[in-house]
Amino acid sequence: MKRTAIVTGASRGIGKAIAYSLAKEGYHLALFCHTNFQLLKDFAAELSHQFKIETYVYCGNIADSEFTISSCENALKKLGHIDVLINNAGKAFIGLLTDMYVADWDCIIGTNLSSMFYTAKAVVPNMVKNKSGNIINISSMWGTVGASCEVAYSASKGGVNSFTKALAKELAPNGISVNAVACGVVDTDMNAMLSEEDKASLAEDIPMGKFCSPEDIAKVVLDIINAPSYMTGQIIGVDGGFI
């Protein structure tokens, strides 16, 4: 039986690296992005050509329940079943709580946390039916310890961790594993807003002395997929020893 996966936030950064790694392993993919539709289509076409796999692309607001649930259901119909769900889509807001608008808060929580409920709601029944599946949520070290001036982001990632642990207990009897990767500082567009001085200062605070690469996270994701299903409900830190 062919192996299949859904990856959200797949047009760049961590999601793109994960999608590439899965394609290399022969997974047929449903890839999601928010706005970079042409970029994602080109990437999907490249994966299909290079690895001889099926790819399907969806572009829209992952925080929109109607879009996300219907798109995941469509991907399930096209792929036939879902083996792996990667909840990677995410947004950040850096600034004081008092400078945040309600719309900013809603956007962060909707994108980083609520979207995982929507994707899971669409694909979990299929996994339960097949008595197998792997759900991996991309979290952050700030979901564990919190970050000043990133209250909404930290809160959303703390929610990701709790969502992971709770859903793991719920789905364990059905042979489905649910884990999360708590990333440290990853060299992606999300951190591109930082000045070179800020990046250097942040790197000094990391015991490894450097940022993590998206490919490092992708390797960890593959390790989780290939781990015994008995490993579930874990928040796996990949932060260079930061915390």
Looking at the annotation, which residues are catalytic? 153
* Residue from 233, 227, 232, 221 nearest 27 by CA: 221
Unique residue bearing structure tokens 């649930």? 69
Please say whether the beta carbons of 144 and 243 come within 8 A: yes
The string of DSSP letters for 31-82 reads EEESS-HHHHHHHHHHHHHHH---EEEEES-TT-HHHHHHHHHHHHHHHSS-
Question: How remote is the C-alpha of 51 from its chain's centroid?
Answer: 22
**C-alpha pair distances (Å), 68 with each of 21, 64, 227:** 23, 6, 28
Other Cβ atoms closer than 10 A to 175: 14
192: exposed, middle or buried (C-beta count within 10 Å: 0-12, 13-18, 19+)? Answer: exposed
Task: Give the DSSP H or E segment for 6.
Answer: strand 4-7
* Residue from 111, 110, 227 nearest 178 by CA: 227
As a whole number of Å, the end-to-end CA separation of the chain is 41
